[in-house]
Structure 1
Amino acid sequence: MPRHAIVYDVSSDAVLPYHTLSPLWPHGGIPLPGMTDVTATRSRGSARESVWL
């Protein structure tokens, strides 16, 4: 890693606003490919799991 690099924690345990970049953050309205008019809350997980999160 370069000496002057800045590392940001974007995990679900990070502080605001960085934890909103986590795939576990519930953004909502994410369209699911191949499923008309079905959206997911989170981007992580299978399509079926995401519909119910």
Structure 2
Amino acid sequence: MGELVPDLRLQEPIIEKLTSSPEFSSVTVFKVAFDKQKDVVQALGPQRRSTLI
């Protein structure tokens, strides 16, 4: 994914741990490149990078 922004660098191991646990087995995580996937960003409407929706 290239250079990670600081918030994502902190969030990523936490998200990985959570999604590997049975309680969150049905959760799907999408990583969106804020600068490159403008259509997805516009559709989801985050106001800043590293937004969890």
TM-score tier after normalising by the smaller chain length = under 0.3
Write 1 or 2 for the structure with the bigger share of helix.
2
- TM-score normalized by structure 1? 0.23
Q: Which has the larger radius of gyration?
A: 1
Higher strand proportion: 1
By relative contact order (CA 8 Å, sep 6+), the higher-ranking structure is: 2
TM-score when normalising by structure 2: 0.23
